[in-house]
Amino acid sequence: MRLGVGTLVFALAFGSWLACLHHAPTGGAGRVLRVLDHTGRGTTPLPLPLAGREAAPPPFDLDSPSGLRATLTLVASRGGWSSERPGIADIVLLTSDRRGVRLAANTALQLRRFGIAHTLVLMGAEADCGHAQAEYMWLAAGWSRGLRGFGRYKGTGFSQSDVDLWALWSAKWLVLARLVELRASVLALDTDMLVLADPYPLLRAPPLSRCSLVLPAEGTRVNLGIMYVRGGGRAGMSGVASVLWDVVRRLRLFLEQGDEWLLRDARSGRTSLQGLWDQGLFTDAIQSAILGRHLYPYTYLQSDPRHVAWNRTGGGLEWPAPGQDRAPKAVARLHRVQWRMPREREQGDPACSGSWRRPRWLGDAPAAF
């Protein structure tokens, strides 16, 4: 698996340019996207291909194989075939709940300015997709229920809406892993960004074209607001797929087992989801793939060290390994990834190997559905 870190041409926060979406509720011909500078001048309407003139199909069930394949068929019909790998679908995945539909639609419209119409909005329920398409009839949408078990963490400061949001985040990793197993390429984007250029020329040119996974670093962890997974590998047998499924596995460890596996804050003793924050889990999964053994430094640092997971005599994860210093500073040093651009990779470096061998730690392949 080849890993790369690149800076994509996006604005991640509102700066001197703001994009404002003016729309009619029924998706009529009066819909335009106006780009305004920070003073409010320069309101030149921009043409929007497809928007307001085509209706998207009914929402897709992304928890079913047939729904996933139907999604890829739609993507192909909207120009989503990869130009670099014939026969491979290329899809842009946006994730949103009901409250964020306008942001998702705004991002999709910005992408259409550059001819990118193969966009899908992932939501948590079929009804949410219907709500989105009632306002934006052209918006392709699909739903996944995500992982169960977040409700077990409900309590002080963690409401049902929080449960639904965390389940939606988990659905993102499930759907990503399933699409990659179908050999699709996926550009996953957060919706709170300003798109200033077509990202595909950068992703398809050296050095990033030699990477199977492209995402930006953020301190000692990774930032998941922008991620590109290059498909085309043998179904279910790519290094990127193993990393994605490892993220899902880590979530399930602390969601679906007995109550003694619920993570707790070391000080208060209350249940806490901080150790399951996706950017920390993803960094641990990448580092585990590089080193060839499961590591859990992020979750360990964010939970009670007396947890059964770290109890070697109680059937835990046997981590940290016997003889390894369990002090927080020593563990924190493990929460780093050795990043190498393709031009810097060393001969025989397993992190940058062009051929993938099933890691010893992966065990049996998880079920896709």
Looking at 230-327, list the stretches that DSSP marks H as alpha helix, in order from N- to C-terminal side: 239-253, 278-291, 297-301
The span from the CA of 44 to the CA of 176, in Å, is: 37
Q: Could you tell me if residue 218 is inside a domain?
A: yes
262 lies in the same domain as 144: no
Q: Could you tell me if residue 17 is inside a domain?
A: no
| 351, amino acid identity | A
What is the span of the domain harbouring residue 289?
242-341
- Relative to beta strand 226-229, strand 213-214 is antiparallel
Q: Could you tell me if residue 359 is inside a domain?
A: no
Q: Could you tell me if residue 33 is inside a domain?
A: no
Question: Under DSSP, is residue 95 helix (H, G, I), strand (E, B) or coil?
Answer: strand
232 lies in the same domain as 302: no
228 lies in the same domain as 248: no
249 lies in the same domain as 136: no
118 lies in the same domain as 106: yes
Q: What is the CATH number of the domain that holds 172?
A: 3.90.550
156 lies in the same domain as 200: yes
216 lies in the same domain as 261: no
pLDDT tens string, the chain, 369 residues long: the values are 555 443 343 333 323 222 223 333 333 333 444 443 333 344 444 444 444 457 888 999 999 999 999 999 887 777 666 555 556 788 999 999 999 999 999 999 999 999 899 999 999 999 999 999 999 999 999 999 999 999 999 876 788 888 999 999 999 999 999 999 888 999 999 999 889 999 999 999 999 988 899 998 887 788 899 999 998 765 545 688 899 999 999 999 999 999 999 999 888 889 999 999 999 999 999 989 988 889 999 999 999 988 989 876 666 887 887 777 888 888 887 777 655 544 433 333 333 333 334 444 334 433 332
Question: For the chain, what is the domain count?
Answer: 2
Compute the radius of gyration of the chain from its Cα atoms.
Answer: 21
Domain final position from 220, 239, 258:
239
pTM of the model: 0.78
Q: Could you tell me if residue 81 is inside a domain?
A: yes
228 lies in the same domain as 163: yes
- Relative to beta strand 60-61, strand 3-4 is unpaired
66 lies in the same domain as 207: yes
Q: Could you tell me if residue 357 is inside a domain?
A: no
Token pair recorded at residue 129: 């997709």
